Chain A
Amino acid sequence: MGYGVLMSSGEFDSSSFMIHGIFKYSFFGHEVWITNTHVSILIIMILLIVFSLVGGKCLKKATMKPGKFQNVIELLVEFLDGIVDKAMGKGAPKYYNYIGTLFVFILVSNISGLLGLRPPTADYGVTLPLGILTFILVHYAEVRFNKPLDLWKDKCSPLPPWLPIWLPINIISDIAVPISLSLRLFANVLSGTIMMALVYGLLKWVAVAWPAALHVYFDLFSGAIQTYVFCMLTMTYISSARGDGN
């Protein structure tokens, strides 16, 4: 840091928790960096792809009385489908795949701090696309399942439809959804990452065994809660856009 902002002895460098480039290449004349976010996201992707290939192969020759691995996979899939069923009612089966993938990806990303990787979700470039995907799904469902007139009435909602003064405010609140959704996930994971880096970087040998407790809170608990919240909010927005209740 150089300025002693963090009471460090000067050896502490903030690059231990910042995003930093590993190598750069030129892509059609643009300078493109491969950062440590890319590296950890690739590792997680390979892990998940291998797991799902093995799981798929296992379920191809599934037996009536499940073995150990088949049992684990069935438990996982039933859990994910159960969450979607509970939140979305009868429109649920179409969204099993998306929400399940989202859940597994965000969960593994959040707890990857335990494996020594920098969590990919602590990069706004990862969480913003997830928020935008939610935004697209919500508005696709809204246009698909509502008549245009009802949509217009809904967008002018507190005032009658011939007086669209409230329209811009409703549009702004629609745009705020993906931004707040992605910032919530990003800031939670980032704050955990930075706090762990500060504990390890500033306290040196004082931080021996007890950071494990902090890891349990910041990585496991907070990561799982934020995963659940992201998926739950996505499902709530989609099902309210579909108008399943009425």
Chain B
Amino acid sequence: MDFNENFVLGCSAIGAGLAVIAGIGPGVGQGIAAGHGAAAVGRNPGARSEIMSTMLLGQAVAETTGLYGLLVAMLLLFVKPLVG
């Protein structure tokens, strides 16, 4: 079975959109981290800078999975590996 190029390109665009749904996970995770960070600063304002750096580090690590989704979307849209 072979499809024409526009059909494959359209399907790639849909796939790119689906891949970016991966952003939900890191969004929730980073929000939870930020919320706990705020609570920690409220409880112990003296340790503000320590809490900030730990929180940012954790958030950046949690962000990775979302970025993988973004990368897949970018590849589908701009590199077009499926269009022969």
Interface residues of A (CB under 8 A from B): 3, 5, 14, 18, 180, 183-184, 187-188, 190-191, 194, 225-226, 228-229, 232-233
Contacts and interface: CB of A to CB of B under 8 A. Distances in A.
Contact of A190 (B63, B64, B68, B74): B74
B56 A229 contact: yes
A194 B74 CA distance: 9
Q: Size band of the B side of the interface?
A: 10 to 19
B9 interface: yes
Contacts, number: 42
B67 A229 contact: no
Contact of B13 (A5, A14, A194, A229): A5
Contacts of B56: 225, 228-229
B68 A183 contact: yes
Contacts of A187: 67-68, 70-71
B67 A188 contact: yes
A229 B57 contact: yes
A233 B57 contact: yes
Interface of B: 6, 9, 13, 53, 56-57, 60-61, 63-64, 67-68, 70-71, 74, 77-78
Chain B contact surface mostly: helix
Nearest to B60: A229
Contact of B60 (A3, A190, A191, A226): A226
Chain A contact surface mostly: helix
A229 B30 CA distance: 15
Contacts of B78: 14, 18
A68 to B, nearest CB: 27
A21 B83 CA distance: 23
5 contacts: A5-B77, A180-B64, A187-B67, A188-B67, A233-B61
A180 B77 CA distance: 22
A183 B67 contact: yes
A184 B74 contact: no
Nearest to B63: A184
Contacts of B63: 184, 188
Nearest to A188: B67
A183 B56 CA distance: 18
A184 B78 CA distance: 19
Top 5 closest A-B pairs, CB basis? A187-B67, A229-B60, A184-B64, A187-B71, A232-B57
